[in-house]
Structure 1
Amino acid sequence: MDAATVTLAIATMGIIILFGAFVAIRVPITKEAKNLLMAIIINLAVPFIILNGVFNTEISDEVFQQVFIIFGASIVFNSVATVIGIIIGRLIGFQLSMAKKLSLLAAIGNTGFIAIPLCATLFGPIGGLLAAVFDAGLDFVLFSLGIYLLQSDQRFNIKQLKALLNMPLLAITIGLLYVISGLEAPAFMQQLASMLSGLAAPLAMLYIGFLLPPFFKKGQTLYYRELWFPILLKLIIFPALTIFILSLMPLNTFLKQMLVILTAMPTFMLASVLFSRYTNDEDKAVMTTVYSTILSLVTIPLVTVFAGFFL
């Protein structure tokens, strides 16, 4: 994994974020407009990144093995990172409820909006496909363990898992069925998937840019005392631990590079939505998401350089 390539990709995404922020300054972006853009990204662009990966990748036994490794690694990483975050938070002196919230902000990354387009750019169609598989494992942890930790009554409801039924997961399912069938995708479907998959990265970065001007115009405190904790763990500590653990494992270099990128993502975009529904700390989620996303434009290339010495 060339650090220069990663830096160029991140820099390009950063510029698009600035374009989005500039547009939001000049033109008021309504809630309906943001919801529409998010719906296009999640329900159209990201699913076609997955299908484009399936259509343009020779699905061998090795690729199937990589899919299962990435999915299992996602569940293990996101679950263990959440537990580690709680333990560290308690050792530092945070109350249990605060430690739970901060641990989720520190462990769960923005794989859907940033990692899938980025991995597709860095590694080609197979990168987008495997990043989507990682995101599926992350969603499973988030909407099971994550919701459990956020709920005050600490009761798990099976209905929470309905959030797992989404378009990216449907695209993965369709893709796997297509592979099993042994059929070749029609030329127009391959062309359609290629065109629509190209929407994901620019639209996702524009969406993030749209969020910045309103955030900094609120006229209220733009930080909270514990902000350093999820950002330090999410962007520095967890990626460093991932690199150390991967250096001891007999995985091929491609999978190690993928996992480093996937675990170096900023805080997940849905944090504000879930924290608004289950807690009274929506502002903490918004601040963590915004600051971690901005800082990740610097830390992801640095993590990549660091990983180059060990992997």
Structure 2
Amino acid sequence: MDTLTITITIMTMGIMIALGVFVASRVPVTLQAKELLMFIIINLAVPSIILNAVFNTEIDENVFQQVIIVFVVSLVFNGLGLLLTILIGRLIKFEPSLATKLGLLAVLGNVGFIGIPLSATIFGPIGGLLAAVFDAGIDLVLFSLGIYLLQSEKRFHFKQLKALINVPLIAIILGLAFVISNLEAPFVFKQLSSILSGLAAPLAMLYIGFLLYPFLRKEQAFYYKELWYPLILKLLIFPMIAILIMTLLPLEDFIKQLLTILIAMPTFMLASVVFSRYSDGDNLAVITTVVSTLLSLITIPLVTFIASVFI
């Protein structure tokens, strides 16, 4: 694993976050503007990364196996990790609802906003595609088990799974169907997906900077007393466990490296939205997302360096 390349990429993303803070300090960034930016990232930029990977990668039997492996690992790791983290939280005597929220914040990573662009930058188009598959596993865990645990009545409704039908997932399905059909994508589609895919990382980092600025302007403390729990688990303990597990699994080094990086991602960006919709609205999600993202600029290079030694 090229630790230097990853470190430089993370530093570049950190600079883009700082630019987002700078822009927000000079131009009022309204809620509507943030929603527009998120819409562009999720519905244009990220799907373009997926389609660009499909159009520029020879999808053979080996790639299909990689897709299945990454999806299964995502389901198992995030599902079992969530249950384990909530159990540990209960043992520490966190309130049940708080233990559930902290469990979600400690396990589910920001693959959609950061992991997919980062993987595409480091590993090429195939990295972006497999990261999107990993993110699909996270979405399935979040909008099934995660929502079930968040709701006080603990009832599962199939309508919760509607959130799984999103543009990135549709792009994965259409892309793989396109490959199976053995059709050649028109040059204009290849060019368009290539150009739009380059928007993902810059826009995502600017968006994080926009979220960060209000805290700096109001001089609010990025802290609540249980913050240590999701941060330590998400950024250090789970990535170290992932490295240990990867050394034992008979997988390609490329897959091991990719999975390690994806598991080391900071807290998922939609945490505040999900908490507001299915639980009590509070600042836990926003604070954890912002702080974990900033700290990940240090921990991701650290994790990749350790992984390069053992994997």
Q: Is the TM-score greater than 0.5?
A: yes
Checking the alignment, whether the CA contact within 8 Å between 2:20 and 2:205 is kept in structure 1 is yes
For 2:275, the equivalent position in structure 1 comes to 275
Checking the alignment, whether the CA contact within 8 Å between 1:216 and 1:222 is kept in structure 2 is no
For 1:250, the equivalent position in structure 2 comes to 250
CA RMSD of aligned residues (A): 1.0
Deviation at 1:220?
Answer: 4.9
Q: Amino acid of the residue matched to residue 35 of structure 2?
A: N
Q: Could you tell me the TM-score, scaled by structure 2's length?
A: 0.98
| Distance across 1 between alignment mates of 2:61 and 2:302 | 33
Checking the alignment, whether the CA contact within 8 Å between 2:212 and 2:290 is kept in structure 1 is yes
Q: Amino acid of the residue matched to residue 289 of structure 1?
A: T
Deviation at 1:93?
Answer: 1.8
| Distance across 1 between alignment mates of 2:308 and 2:220 | 41
Moved more, 76-85 or 48-57: 76-85
Deviations 1:123-148 (A, max 9, x none): 00000000000011110000001101
| Distance across 2 between alignment mates of 1:307 and 1:219 | 36
For 2:39, the equivalent position in structure 1 comes to 39
1:101 aligns with 2:93: no
Deviation at 1:95?
Answer: 2.0
Checking the alignment, whether the CA contact within 8 Å between 2:82 and 2:107 is kept in structure 1 is yes
For 1:147, the equivalent position in structure 2 comes to 147
1:88 aligns with 2:83: no
For 2:3, the equivalent position in structure 1 comes to 3
Deviation at 1:279?
Answer: 2.0
Q: How do residues 1-311 of structure 1 correspond to structure 2 at under 5 angstroms? A: 1-218=1-218, 220-311=220-311
Deviation at 1:219?
Answer: 5.4
| Distance across 2 between alignment mates of 1:133 and 1:156 | 24
Ranges in structure 2 where 5+ consecutive residues have no aligned partner: none
Deviation at 1:269?
Answer: 0.4
Deviations 1:85-105 (A, max 9, x none): 112112222122211110000
Number of aligned residue pairs? 311
Moved more, 270-279 or 4-13: 270-279
| Distance across 2 between alignment mates of 1:117 and 1:104 | 22
Query: Could you say what secondary structure the match of 1:250 adopts?
Result: coil
Query: Could you say what secondary structure the match of 2:85 adopts?
Result: helix
Q: Amino acid of the residue matched to residue 268 of structure 1?
A: F
Q: Amino acid of the residue matched to residue 266 of structure 1?
A: P
- Compared with structure 1, are the counterparts of its residues 113 and 257 closer, same or farther at alpha carbon in structure 2 (3 Å cutoff)? same
Q: Amino acid of the residue matched to residue 270 of structure 1?
A: L
Q: Amino acid of the residue matched to residue 46 of structure 1?
A: V
Q: Amino acid of the residue matched to residue 273 of structure 1?
A: V
Deviations 1:226-285 (A, max 9, x none): 000000000000000010011011001000000001000000000001111222243011
Q: Amino acid of the residue matched to residue 52 of structure 2?
A: N
| Distance across 2 between alignment mates of 1:222 and 1:60 | 47
Ranges in structure 1 where 5+ consecutive residues have no aligned partner: none
Q: Amino acid of the residue matched to residue 114 of structure 1?
A: I
Query: Could you say what secondary structure the match of 1:222 adopts?
Result: coil
Deviations 1:165-220 (A, max 9, x none): 10001100110110110011111111111101011010111111111111233455
Q: Amino acid of the residue matched to residue 64 of structure 2?
A: F
| Distance across 1 between alignment mates of 2:221 and 2:288 | 13
Q: Amino acid of the residue matched to residue 262 of structure 2?
A: L
Deviations 1:62-83 (A, max 9, x none): 0000000001111111101101
Query: Could you say what secondary structure the match of 2:250 adopts?
Result: coil
Q: Amino acid of the residue matched to residue 142 of structure 2?
A: L
Checking the alignment, whether the CA contact within 8 Å between 1:41 and 1:200 is kept in structure 2 is yes
Identity %: 66
Q: Amino acid of the residue matched to residue 142 of structure 1?
A: L
Deviations 1:21-63 (A, max 9, x none): 0000111100000000000000000001000000000001000
| Distance across 2 between alignment mates of 1:200 and 1:307 | 26
